[in-house]
Structure formats: structure tokens, C-alpha cells
């Protein structure tokens, strides 16, 4: 039963509690808790959990012993994480409007300023 041990190890390495991981993944703390205690052997959210823990579902389930193998690069700052969390909390129409604003700001930041 590798999932509980590897899940706890990765949570510790990432400095996440069950509640924090659950919040980031968008599941209940009980869902994460069942995996950590071994009361559940898998979850349809395992890929999201693995991504947040900077590893792969294959590592968590014991298919591989390398936690880094094919792990996605999700090195983001706390500020980027906050923006993502805030975007996820928005209703779809407001999320679309925020995305338009962010794209506009990013385009403006990349364009050279013309001062007259």
C-alpha cells in the first residue's frame, strides 16, 4: 500500500496539510484523508493531487519509484498560486472577463512604450 506513505511524504516535501491540498485540488479534506489513511486506494482526482504534489500518479500508486519521472513543472510563485485560486473561485462569466483583462495587461506589458 504505497499511496498513503508516498502521499504523506510528498505532502511533507511540499509543506501541505490535507486541508491545503484538498483546497488546491478542489476536493473535500475527507477525500485526501481517506487516501492518506489507506481507507481509499485511488481517487478520480489522483492526477490533480499528483500535480499539486509535483509528482505523478504513477509514483503515488507504485508504478514507478521515481517521484520526478515525467512530473509536470508547476514551479509557480505564491502570487501566481493566489491568482489561480482566485480565478477558480469566480463564476464562469466573471472568469472569462478576468482572463480578457489579464491577457490585455500581459500584451501591454510586452509592447514597447511609445512616449511622445
Q: What is the CA radius of gyration of the chain?
A: 18
Q: What is the domain class of 2-61 according to CATH? A: mainly alpha
- Backbone φ and ψ for 71, nearest 5 degrees, come out as -70, 135
The pLDDT assigned to 1 comes to 56
The pLDDT assigned to 115 comes to 55
Q: How is residue 113 annotated by DSSP?
A: P
Instruction: Enumerate long-range contacts of 50-58, CB under 8 Å, 24 or more apart.
Output: 52/14, 52/16, 52/21, 52/24, 52/25, 53/7, 53/10, 53/11, 53/13, 53/14, 53/16, 53/21, 54/10, 54/13, 54/14, 55/6, 55/10
The pLDDT assigned to 82 comes to 82
Whether 81 shows a pLDDT value over 80: the answer reads no
What ranges do the domains of the chain cover?
2-61, 78-110
State mean pLDDT over 38-49. Answer: 84
The pLDDT assigned to 108 comes to 86
Quote the CA–CA distance of 26 and 112 in Å, as a whole number: 39
Amino acid at each position: 500500500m504505497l499511496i498513503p506513505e508516498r502521499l504523506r511524504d510528498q505532502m511533507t516535501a511540499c509543506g501541505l496539510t490535507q486541508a491545503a491540498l484538498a483546497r488546491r485540488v478542489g476536493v473535500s479534506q475527507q477525500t485526501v484523508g481517506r487516501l492518506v489513511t489507506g481507507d481509499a486506494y485511488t481517487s478520480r482526482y489522483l492526477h490533480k493531487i499528483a500535480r499539486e504534489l509535483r509528482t505523478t500518479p504513477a509514483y503515488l500508486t507504485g508504478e514507478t519509484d521515481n517521484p520526478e519521472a515525467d512530473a509536470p513543472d508547476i514551479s509557480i510563485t505564491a502570487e501566481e498560486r493566489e491568482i489561480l485560486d482566485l480565478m477558480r473561485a469566480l463564476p464562469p462569466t466573471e472568469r472569462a472577463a478576468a482572463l480578457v483583462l489579464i491577457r490585455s495587461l500581459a500584451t501591454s506589458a510586452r509592447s514597447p512604450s511609445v512616449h511622445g
